[in-house]
Amino acid sequence: MDQPSLYSRYSELQHADNLFVLERYLRLLRWDGVAPPGAGAGVGVGAADRGGPYAVLDVGVGDGHFAVEVLVPRLPGNCERFVGVDSSEAMVTFANQHYRSRCMEFVHLDISSETVEASLECSFDHVFSFYTLHWVKRQRQAFHNIYKLLKPGGDALLTFLATNPIYDIHQIMAKNKKWKPYIKTDYIAPYHQKKHPEKQLENVLKKTGFVKYMCRVENRTHQFHGYDILRKSINAVNPILSKLTGDDAEDYMNDFMDEVRHLPSVKIEKINNNEETITIHYKLFIVYAVKPDDT
Ligand SMILES: C[S@@+](CC[C@H](N)C(=O)[O-])C[C@H]1O[C@@H](n2cnc3c(N)ncnc32)[C@H](O)[C@@H]1O
């Protein structure tokens, strides 16, 4: 995950899902004293009297594009501090070069590390995370850190993959002698193909100390218009490619794309001029959680 330029061009699936989540769930957050986006009877509205300027953290901010161009403009009221964190130095450097401003900064942090910088603890009214937590094996530690970073009474809106056919391909590729040495089980999302992913995650949230939470799995579909776009989109987030060079990287991607054609959960159709559309079905977590006021 250290190709910010490629990711910024080939992240249509992630951005479509992120937008879907914002449009439906942003109003859940506690925008006390501030009219929430698309104001209606939002769940958390008016729950505590914190009002005024607020601070936001985005975990796994990536290249920064979605956060700055899509998320921040949708936040109501006065977001006076925005911090994007990411475990990839390349992403953090790119985001700082393109988007750093007086109230926006990008910092290196692995959300599953044993400790987080003391100056960031209890600093944020709202924590967001888009398309990141499926990369994190140490789920308990990541949720513990998110909890620590929130102010008492702060809340979090998180979205990440529960299940995706890409992980089935990783598993198939891991059986191939040539690629096996490069593929770690870490690359499989922690809840992929689990029978009751919501229950498992609710357990993590409860053990972390969150008392109010919502954990939902949505069925999602995305259509890629052409194999090349799908190939580049996979390239942009594929952790194995950085370990391969030249022809090996090319061969790996060719094998990967061949497997795409064989998966039952992927539908391929020919349209005008023999162009192909590739439709994939997958499941997305949407998590909303509130840190208790009295911590
Ligand atoms: C698919 S990108 C999502 C970027 C952005 N949030 C978006 O939706 O466009 C996932 C990002 O999570 C970062 N990431 C992966 N594991 C992480 C961890 N343990 N802590 C912080 N960031 C992590 C990756 O470096 C990458 O930039």
Residue 110 CA, closest ligand 1 atom number: 20
Decide if 231 contacts 10 (C-beta within 8 A): no
Q: pLDDT tens digits for 175-213?
A: 989 998 888 777 889 999 899 999 999 999 999 999 999
pLDDT at 37: 65
- Strand-pair category, 104-108 with 212-225: unpaired
Per-residue pLDDT of the chain (295 residues; tens, 9 = 90+): 789 999 999 999 999 999 999 999 999 999 875 655 654 433 333 333 456 899 999 999 999 999 999 999 999 988 999 999 999 999 999 999 999 999 999 999 999 999 999 999 999 999 999 999 999 999 999 999 999 999 999 999 999 999 999 999 989 998 989 998 888 777 889 999 899 999 999 999 999 999 999 999 999 999 999 889 999 999 999 888 888 888 999 999 999 999 998 888 889 888 877 788 999 999 999 999 999 998 7
> Residues enclosing ligand 1, CB less than 6 A?
1, 11, 14, 18, 59-62, 66, 86-88, 91, 110-112, 130-132, 135-136, 237
Decide if 63 contacts 8 (C-beta within 8 A): yes
Closest CA to 232 of 34, 2, 7: 7
Distance (angstroms) between ligand 1 centre and the Cα of 260 equals 24
Decide if 240 contacts 180 (C-beta within 8 A): no
Distance (angstroms) between ligand 1 centre and the Cα of 7 equals 11
Determine the Cα–Cα distance for residues 120 and 252; give it in Å rounded to an integer: 40
Residue 138 CA, closest ligand 1 atom number: 19
Distance (angstroms) between ligand 1 centre and the Cα of 136 equals 9
Distance (angstroms) between ligand 1 centre and the Cα of 165 equals 19
Domains of the chain in start order, with CATH, are 4-163+190-222+283-290 (3.40.50.150)
pLDDT at 182: 84
Residue 88 CA, closest ligand 1 atom number: 25
Q: pLDDT tens digits for 279-291?
A: 999 999 999 999 9
